[in-house]
Chain A
Amino acid sequence: MFNVRRLSIAAAASILLTQTATAQVSDDKLVVGLSADITTFEPAAISSRDNANIVRHIFDTLFSIEGDGSVVPDLATNLAISEDGLAYTYTIEAGRTCHDGEALTAEDVAYSFNRAKDPANAFTGNTPGFVFKSVGFVDAVAVDDVTVQINIEAKNTIAFGLLAEVYIHCKDSYAAMTLEQAATTPVGSGSYKLVSWTPGSEVVLEKVADPGTFQSIVYRIIPEASTRSAELMAGNVDIITNVAPDQIDAIDASGTAKVQSVQGTRRMYVGFNLSEPFAAMPGGDAIQNPDVRRAMQYAVDVPAICEQLLNFPCVRATGIVNPPNANQSLTPYPYDAAKAEELLDAAGWPRLADGKRFTIRFQAGKGRYLNDENVVLAIAQYLSDVGINIELDVMEWGSVYVPLIRERNVGPLFFLGSGGALWSPLYDMTDLAKVDAGTNYTHWNDPRWFDRWTDIAAAATPEDQRVIIDEMLKVFYDDGPWLHLYFQPDFYGVSNRLNWTARPDEKVYLFNAALN
């Protein structure tokens, strides 16, 4: 009798649970499953892509870069660039307000820029750490209520696109907030405002202005890939990012969602650290020779890696620049192990009695890029096949590998990805703008590359500039410091109820998402 009663209660409970568990997302709400936690809503401190993808809905920018690389107005209606290229004058759309009702003027735009640069705030996000450094930002000045002038140190042909990444907010609200408050209670200028943030769990945004189809957007933090996929297939989530390649078929077969596969703009490569300390290491001397580096290009079957490990038919890179802007005369290195061996022999590194040519350390982080650990293992195996004895050192990404990378103290071989863009080849090339640039992890110093930056700045026309770019990319292709791999594919799971197209640049913008 006792057991029967228990069983009845359990049955009733399971019915109740069944009803609740199958609840679907309402029509005015869009739910996105993200893989990584976010840490801040401080516009000048944001550096991760997931964080930026949320915050972009809260803050507007002067201009906006579309998925195809075109640049369209956002807060600004017009831009005039001075003849010397040092002053960018924007006209702000009148009548715009921030989420607290304060009118958004040129003074607010100038404040947004200058606050991000203020050393007292010690911000290290994308705006001060990447944009301002890349353009040589000097200051921003409000000329009148609707006109703001951004001053930069030197003429820079991609400053326009980079400045479009800066989040704009109002002055009064932020001047009154502490940095701690600004990190948790953003007062934005965009289509959506923050309703709630439960760290590690979810972020809820509510629509306050156009553009935006859905009344609310809920970002759920779901770190485990299989859990994200299950939530998508169950209809509890509309979009998920970073679908694991091995789950693509299951999602496509679910009948509730499909996977959108896009060739991303992130450039994946094996770097050759050419610095003096690394040249003294085993194998470090060998890779100083461009012939050896070129031989290694032939040794790795990149299309096979893409097909087998990434579940995507990617095109091998020819260099540092994304395909639409790359040097079109270059063709990707084919996989040709025999040629690789021949070149290594000719370069003075024949196989020794033990079958090995030289030993070299190959360092990589794991858990950051798509199937990265297996990709690294495959590359190591390919290089071993042509007689290069690889000492593989795969380490934790965040806590161990990133500091080594930032110190430019990794290698002699290292695996890395670098975010790129479609709107300008120079954007992709600025990783190597200077020999001592923080992003020149290879310490490459070929004057045929680095001396040409002054020529680019001096080029009279875009056509002249393009010729120089192509010459630089040819040097990079022949004798560069990267073993070219692929542009990392991105996989997004999208519910069948939704009409949304993934972009190649990892930006998950939902303004145009709509129900089917």
Chain B
Amino acid sequence: MWTFIVRRLLQSVIVILGVTLISFISLQMGGDPTFLFVSERASEEEIQMIREALGFDKPLYIQYLTYLMNVAQGDFGNSLSYRQPAMGIVLGALPATIELTLFSMFLAISLAIPFGVFAALYRGTAVDGGIMTLAMFGQSIPSFWMGIMMILFFGLYLSWFPISGHVPFLKPLFQGDFVTAFGNLPSSIYHLMMPAVAVGFYSLSRNARLVRSSMLEVLGQDYVRTARSKGISERAVVINHALRNAWLPVVTMIGLEFGFLLGGVVVIETVFSWPGIGRLVFNAINQRDISVVQASVIVLSVIFIALNLIVDLIYVRIDPRVKL
């Protein structure tokens, strides 16, 4: 297993290098970024001075290699907009996104499994039809539209939930300020509800359909029929025999799901004024704040790779047929 982990970590380095290279090239494709950091009345000499100060006068490969060397020494550069260390800005925004992503994942998975199971158990009935209709809506409705509708209905009309904003939980927790973190927790969850549902509804729907089809396949297997013929209760058959096997494809999806949700939060963070990494990256791309974009890409890649590694290890644990 350790060989597998080391191999995956080495592959991860290549992946991270790849994504940084792609994002670096993409950001350069819009022309000379120097012009975003000079005043519109700057003279040619001043533009050239700023270009040299920012390092944009050097050939692209030199810029990229210099960046890599600095990263290897733990220097991710300074944000050109904020004039602060880029990694500090990214890590400052990350907890809010993790809160949103984890909570929406929690909602998506915790609801998708019972929905999928019930739809499979009551196949062809109104329960199945209702759940699948809901899932169809979930996969068809754009998350930003749903977010806005939730704001208007649950936030403005019913006043059940805050319309926008964020109360931090993870950030003070990571900083060791447990009193603030847990003091904020109820309010933090309260602010999370609408954005998490908006982000997670698509995943919920997809996973519910996945669990349903998986369950249907498993429920028709011989070992389930055998379990029933042994007189085991239907509840035990479903939970211990069917669901345990139907769960495998869902676990596989979870790692991918996290990456999908991280991508999906960009829009929702904007709709709900959530100060997370999605909005930060969006603004950084618009401002060509290359250091911030690169630091974000690295952080998100590491998270994505780590989660997929964890999922692979969990998969081995829950499916004895799989060997590393």
Chain B contacts for A396, CB-based, 8 A: 30, 286
Bound Cα distance from A449 to B322, whole angstroms: 79
In the complex, what distance in Å separates the CA atom of A280 from the CA atom of B288?
Answer: 31
Neighbour of B31 across the interface among A183, A198, A231, A407, CB < 8 A = A407
Which residues of A have CB within 8 Å of B148? 224, 226-227
| B40–A404 CB distance below 8 A | no
Whether A18 is near chain B, meaning CB under 8 Å from some CB there, is yes
Indicate if A180 sits at the interface (CB-CB under 8 A).
Answer: yes
Whole-angstrom CA separation of A322 from B89 in the bound complex: 40
Contacts known (A122-B53, A224-B273, A400-B30); A129 close to B93, Cβ less than 8 A:
no
B50, B83, B272, B286, most chain A CB atoms within 10 A: B83
A126: chain B residues at CB < 8 Å are: 39
Q: Complex: how many Å from CA A227 to CA B152?
A: 8
Count residues of B near A (Cβ-Cβ below 8 Å): 54
Instruction: Determine whether B188 belongs to the interface, using a CB cutoff of 8 Å to chain A.
Output: no
Q: Chain B nearest CB: distance from A240 CB in Å?
A: 12
In the complex, what residue of chain B is closest to A229 when comparing beta carbons? B156
| A129 and B155 contacting across the interface, CB-CB below 8 Å | no
A227 and B35 in contact, given A17-B160, A45-B83, A398-B287 (Cβ under 8 angstroms) = no
Pick from A200, A234, A402: contact of B163, CB under 8 Å? A234
**From B33, B84, B275, B286, contact of A198 by CB (8 A):** B275
Q: Which of A227-265 contact B (CB under 8 A)?
A: 227, 230-231, 233-234, 236
Evaluate contact between B31 and A199: CB separation under 8 angstroms.
no
A226 vs B271: C-alpha distance when bound (angstroms): 8
Q: Is the CB of B164 within 8 A of A222?
A: yes
Q: Which residue of A lies closest to B54 (CB)?
A: A122
> How far, in whole Å, are A405 and B36 apart by their CA atoms in the complex?
10
Q: Which of B257-283 contact A (CB under 8 A)?
A: 270-273, 275-276, 279-280, 283
B152 touches A230 (CB 8 A): yes
A328 at the interface (CB under 8 A from B): no
B142 lies within 8 A of chain A by Cβ: no
Q: Is A313 an interface residue (CB 8 A)?
A: no
Closest chain B residue to A178 by CB distance? Answer: B83
Within 8 A of B (CB), among A13-38: 14, 17-18, 20-22, 37
Q: A200-B93, A220-B165, A407-B35 are in contact. Are A183 and B286 (CB under 8 A)?
A: no
A39 to B53, CA, bound (A): 20
Q: Are B42 and A199 in contact (CB under 8 A)?
A: no
A448 at the interface (CB under 8 A from B): no
The one of A14, A221, A437 in contact with B273, judged by C-beta atoms closer than 8 angstroms, is: A221
Q: Is the CB of B31 within 8 A of A124?
A: no
State whether A128 and B156 are in contact (beta carbons under 8 Å apart), knowing that A122-B50, A224-B273 are contacts in the complex. no
Closest CB of chain A to B272's CB: distance in Å?
Answer: 7
Interface membership of B38, Cβ < 8 A: yes
Give the Cβ gap from B100 to chain A, nearest Cβ, in Å: 13
A318 contacts the other chain (CB 8 A): no
**Are A227 and B40 neighbours in the complex by a CB distance under 8 Å?**
no
Q: In the complex, which residues 29-47 of chain B have their Cβ closer than 8 Å to any Cβ of chain A?
A: 30-33, 35-43
Which A residue sits closest to B272, measured CB to CB?
A227
- CB within 8 Å for A404 and B31 given contacts A20-B190, A183-B84, A399-B288: yes
Which of A128, A199, A399 is close to B286, meaning CB atoms less than 8 Å apart?
A: A399
Q: Which residues of B contact A130 (CB under 8 A)?
A: 39-41
**A4 to B218 alpha-carbon distance, docked (Å):** 32
The answer to whether B270 touches A124 (Cβ under 8 A) is no
CB under 8 Å from chain A, chain B span 54-104: 81-85, 89, 92-93
What sequence of 0s and 1s flags, for each residue 36-75 of chain A, a beta carbon within 8 Å of any chain B beta carbon?
A: 0101101001010000000000000000000000000000
Task: Please tell me if B206 contacts chain A, counting CB pairs below 8 Å.
Answer: no
CA of A17 to CA of B189, assembled, Å = 11
Contacts of B288 in A (CB 8 A): 398-399, 403
The number of chain A residues with a CB under 8 A from chain B is 56
CB of A401, distance to nearest CB on chain B (Å):
9
Q: Which A173-203 residues have a C-beta within 8 angstroms of B?
A: 179-180, 183-184, 198-201
Q: Is B159 an interface residue (CB 8 A)?
A: yes
Picked from A119, A223, A227, A439, the residue with its CB within 8 Å of the CB of B279 is A223
User: Quick check: A40 and B83 within 8 Å, CB to CB?
Assistant: yes
In angstroms, Cα B200 to Cα A70, docked, is: 53
- Whether A18 contacts B159 in the complex (CB less than 8 A), given A122-B50, A200-B275, comes out as yes
A373 and B65 CA atoms in complex are apart in Å by 39
For residue B209, CB closer than 8 A to chain A, the reply is no
The minimal Cβ–Cβ distance linking B323 to chain A, given in whole angstroms, is 41
Beta-carbon contact of B30 and A220 below 8 Å: no
A96 at the interface (CB under 8 A from B): no
Complex CA distance for A354 and B229, rounded to whole angstroms = 80
Most chain B CB neighbours (cut-off 10 Å) among A198, A224, A405, A439: A224
B78 — nearest CB in chain A belongs to which residue? Answer: A180
CB 8 Å contact bits of A376-406 with B (1 = contact, 0 = none) = 0000000000000000000011111011111
The 7 closest A-B pairs by CB, nearest first: A129-B39, A200-B275, A398-B286, A406-B35, A201-B275, A403-B35, A403-B31
User: Given that A17-B161, A398-B288 are contacting pairs, would A406 and B93 also be in contact in the complex, using a CB cutoff of 8 Å?
Assistant: no
Q: Is A438 an interface residue (CB 8 A)?
A: yes
25 pairs, CB–CB < 8 Å, chain A vs chain B:
A21-B155, A21-B161, A40-B81, A124-B42, A125-B39, A129-B38, A133-B42, A183-B83, A200-B275, A200-B276, A201-B166, A201-B273, A220-B164, A223-B273, A224-B272, A226-B152, A227-B271, A230-B151, A397-B286, A398-B285, A398-B286, A403-B30, A403-B35, A407-B32, A439-B40
Is B172 engaged at the interface, CB distance under 8 Å to the other chain? no
Residue pair B36, A398 in contact (C-beta under 8 Å)? yes
Closest to B89 in A: A199
A308 to B166, CA, bound (A): 36
Report the separation of the CA atoms of residues A407 and B164 in the bound assembly, to the nearest whole angstrom.
39
For the complex, what is the distance from the CA of A24 to the CA of B35, rounded to whole Å? Answer: 44
| Contact status of A400 and B83, CB under 8 A, knowing A128-B39, A230-B155 | no
Instruction: List chain B residues, Cβ under 8 A from A236.
Output: 162-163
Complex: chain A residue closest to B267, CB-CB: A224
Q: Are B286 and A40 in contact (CB under 8 A)?
A: no
